[in-house]
Amino acid sequence: MENMVNIVIDGEELSVPSGTTVLETAKKLGKKIPQLCFLKDINEIGACRMCVVEVEGRRNLPASCVLPAEEGMVVRTNSPRVLNARRMNLELILSLHPQECLSCVRSQNCELQSMSQQFRVEQTPRIDTDRLPLDVSGPIQRDPNKCILCRRCVAVCEEVQSTSVLGALERGIDTHIGPAWSEALDNASCTYCGQCIQVCPVGALSERDDTARVWELLHGEDHVVVQVAPAIRTALGEEFNLPPGTNVEGRMVAALRQLGFDKVFDTNFTADLTVMEEGHELLAKVADKNLPLITSCSPGWVRFVEEYYPQLTRHLSSCKSPQQMFGALAKTYYAELAGLTAQQVKTVSIMPCTAKKYEADRPEMQASGQRDVDVVLTTRELAALLRQAGIDLARLEDEEFDAPMGASSGASVLFGRSGGVAQAAARTLSMAYPERVKVGADGSVMVDGKPLRVTVVSSLGEARRILEAVEAGTCDADFIEIMACPGGCINGGGQPTVFDQDERNERLHARRNVIETLDGEAAIAGSHENPAVQQLYAAFLGHPLSEKSHQLLHTHYREELEQPDSPESKAILSRSTAD
């Protein structure tokens, strides 16, 4: 039986399991204790001191996030002493923080700003310190001057993503957060997953702002088309105060047309195409007994395996991601249909993922002799673009995607959440090749009369566990789906940021429900049934894995020979040594 303790918080008594923190206990009573550094099970260090409480019989004010409830403990969360201490701690944080709220990317969505308003802190003394250089080298940008040393990004990078790219540098008042040896993120082994942005309470971390590039394209002479990833329609409404779980697909299409895009297409179209190409690749590898096959549609995951396990890139599917397949086809297949040259077509992607910016920049992604995708915007950037244009998403009427690259199946929308790629592939293969592939009621898959062992993981920490097993020869999976972000694209680094961790989990659940509903309501279940995909193969590609398909829709990865030989160079590459 679980050991229970009785605790009194602000006059209310509650019995909780032994080991429960005072912060969690207060939450059970509906009391929200302020916090800036706490992330449950990830970053529980009591660094910010904003969650201090008063405990009867103790002289100090302990941090409630690391204070276990004890039998008979009497706690006050809002006594004058506690409120004064929190205000003083907040003023100390603000004294080292740049007063740039009006121009900050996180203005009105900043935990520090919100807390300053909560405690009515209007002016604080400013301690002048030498400004640290900005890191604007890649798709994720850092302003270390805005960092409040909460170490959330450090914890997520280490505990969840297992990359340990970020850490504390220097000491005392000179302490700051960054990659080892103060390298730029672009020179470190960062995967650009963006989970650090999601947990940063201030504007110290953000994606590269590419909205100005999109405005230039929209007001230029080129034919500009846009594609939208499945996870965008699950979350964009949150930026316009619509309830979490609102499907804004139709209104999003209308908004993009109002912005001035010549065609509004759906990345789901090329998600269906990915299922076709990768599904046939899987069948070929099963026949050749060349397994496991690992998915390649998550660019953060692809960079992870190239940086940390390059010897295992041979197991990656050669398929480009749906984003890059779309870009390649927009400048070839679609351009031909529209009577345009590849140079006249410009492609913009709306993605839930910061790593998609990196992916579009890769030199391998130039199937038509130029970039497949010209600009990538995150969900947050699209919301900013719409606000700049004065477009209120909530007030728009639904519109439909354009043909031919707007048609999709229910299978394609599943790419928006973890497990969706594997489910979509199994569904399509079992429908298209029932004599070879069968899916049981429990989700088990049989290929040619033998079980196909499928493993699904999300987060790079879980990916590392799987890769260690593959390398050791102890992995019993034949087909492995890996997404860089926990939960998949619905939780991408470019999705709307949410302060409260419990609220964030609720929103992820609501976004996932949108995916499931869209799949259930789709007129077409399997990718192979998409008539636009059938027409694409008949008129342009020929068949899955054809020479033309390989030219446009497949790619290659860095070679195994780039693996460092010495333990010292391997340690430098992984950035895993402690500072």
Report the catalytic residues.
278, 281, 297, 317, 356, 359, 364, 489
The dihedral through the CA atoms of 490, 494, 497, 501 has a sign that is positive
The dihedral through the CA atoms of 259, 263, 269, 273 has a sign that is negative
**CA 179 – CA 268 distance, rounded (Å):** 36
Burial class (CB in 10 A: 0-12, 13-18, 19+), 172: exposed
Beta-bridged to residue 43, according to DSSP, are 39
Q: Contact 292/477 with Cβ under 8 angstroms?
A: yes
**CA 265 – CA 376 distance, rounded (Å):** 14
Phi-psi region of 164 (alpha: psi -120 to 50; beta: other; left: phi over 0): left
**CA 532 – CA 547 distance, rounded (Å):** 20
Strand order across the 4-9 sheet: 12-17, 4-9, 73-76, 54-55
**CA 81 – CA 169 distance, rounded (Å):** 33
Encoded tokens for 45: 């260090």
**CA 493 – CA 375 distance, rounded (Å):** 17
Beta-bridged to residue 39, according to DSSP, are 43
Alpha helices, DSSP H only, in 202-308?
211-218, 232-235, 249-259, 267-288, 299-308
